[in-house]
Every structure is written in structure tokens, then in C-alpha cells.
């Protein structure tokens, strides 16, 4: 594990474990112990213990007697998260359209262009990274810490589902085009159009996830 001195060790361990759980490295039902994690990460028990405590507060893991049981995020959890995002994220885009600066618009445009580039390359990991960056910038540029603090954790929690979805070439292309429409509405400083474009984007992402789950269920049966 690479140590970044500008960020506390406990924070680094938390972020690493959170990402490993939410991306599926540690599967639902797996048991994590302090000793196992200390050996894997090459750190002492104190930062691991602190990270596990925070993950438990996030309801990603829970105490089970033998260690910490991985809960991860279920498809039902993801559905609830998308339903919440549909109601809030449009408001964040609307607020962003009202107060974004020219410099911030330039940053947002660069992210959209990078996502378009990676979509052509079919690089799912980079597309997901740009997707996260795009949404987080909008939350940040909305001018409200409430939007940012509420939406960033929700967006992170469904990253495994987002990556799987964006590995689909057609969805990656559609998602990128939807981001372009959101950006254009924000660039035009049109709050109503920005809200509509963002809500449509989240709805389409949710619909694609539901279609994927239905296919997987059919194949399992």
C-alpha cells in the first residue's frame, strides 16, 4: 500500500477498503479480520480498526463475532440509491447552471471531452472515472455543500454497478451523450433544461441496470 503523507493513514486505509468492497474485491458474505487486513495492506492495527469502524457506520460491513461481515451494496440498495438520485441530482444540476463560473465550465467541458475520448477507446475504467468526476464537479459547482455531501457517497456506493453498466458499449456511448446534453444545458445557464437532462440521465442509467439484472436473472433460471 502506497502511503500519502498529506492524507492520514486511517483515511487511506478507509478509502482503500471502501473501494475494495464497493468494487467487489471483497464479496458480500466474506469475513474481514484486522489481522488479515494488516497483512494485506502492510499497516498496523490502529488505522485498520479505525477504518473498519467507519465502514460499519456506513453500513457496508457489520460485526459478526468472527470479524467484520461484508454487506456491500445489493441490487435493491442500488435501486433505492437511483430513486434518491432522481429526486435530488436534477436540483444540483439546476443550481449548478445558475452559478457556475467560466473557469468551472471549462473544467466540466474537459471532463466531457475526455469521457467521449475514452468511450471511443472502450476503456470502461477510465469512462467510470470521468463519470464520477463529471457528477462530483456538478455537485461541487452547485454552490451547496448539502448536495455534495449527500450525493458523493451515494454515487460512490454504486460504483460496481456503474462499471458493469459502462462496460456495455452502447450504454457507455449513450451515457457520454447524456453527459454532453447536461453540460450544454449548464453552459447555457438554463436551470430547467439542466435539471431535465440530469433526471433523464439518471433514469436511463437506472433502466439499463434493471434490464441487465433481468437478463442475469433469466440466465440464472
List of the chain residues with pLDDT < 70:
1-7, 215-221
Phi, psi for 24 (deg, rounded to 5): 95, 5
The model's pLDDT over 183-217, given as tens digits with 9 standing for 90+, comes to 999 999 999 999 999 999 999 999 998 888 776 66
What is the model's pLDDT at position 105?
98
What whole-number distance in Å separates Cα of residue 101 and Cα of residue 98? 9
pLDDT score for 221: 55
What is the predicted pLDDT for the residue at 195?
Answer: 98
| Res 54: pLDDT | 92
119-138, pLDDT tens digit by residue? 999 888 899 899 999 999 99
Amino acid at each position: 500500500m502506497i502511503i500519502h503523507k498529506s492524507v492520514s493513514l486511517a483515511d487511506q486505509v478507509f478509502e482503500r477498503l471502501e473501494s475494495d468492497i464497493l468494487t467487489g474485491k471483497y464479496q458480500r458474505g466474506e469475513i474481514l479480520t484486522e489481522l488479515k487486513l494488516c497483512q494485506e495492506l502492510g499497516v498496523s492495527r490502529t488505522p485498520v480498526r479505525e477504518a473498519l469502524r467507519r465502514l460499519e457506520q456506513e453500513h457496508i460491513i457489520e460485526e459478526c463475532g468472527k470479524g467484520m461481515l461484508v454487506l456491500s451494496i445489493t441490487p435493491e440498495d442500488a435501486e433505492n440509491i437511483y430513486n434518491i438520485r432522481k429526486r435530488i441530482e436534477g436540483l444540483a444540476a439546476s443550481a449548478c447552471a445558475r452559478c457556475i463560473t467560466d473557469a468551472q465550465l471549462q473544467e466540466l467541458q474537459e471532463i466531457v471531452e475526455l469521457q467521449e475520448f475514452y468511450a471511443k477507446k472502450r476503456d470502461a475504467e477510465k469512462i467510470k472515472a470521468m463519470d464520477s468526476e463529471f457528477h462530483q464537479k456538478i455537485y461541487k459547482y452547485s454552490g451547496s455543500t448539502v448536495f455534495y455531501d449527500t450525493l458523493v457517497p451515494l454515487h460512490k456506493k454504486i460504483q460496481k454497478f456503474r462499471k458493469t453498466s459502462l462496460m456495455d458499449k452502447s450504454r457507455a456511448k449513450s451515457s457520454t451523450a447524456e453527459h454532453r446534453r447536461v453540460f450544454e444545458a449548464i453552459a447555457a445557464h438554463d436551470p430547467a433544461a439542466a435539471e431535465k437532462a440530469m433526471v433523464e440521465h439518471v433514469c436511463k442509467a437506472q433502466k439499463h441496470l434493471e434490464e441487465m439484472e433481468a437478463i442475469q436473472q433469466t440466465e440464472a433460471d
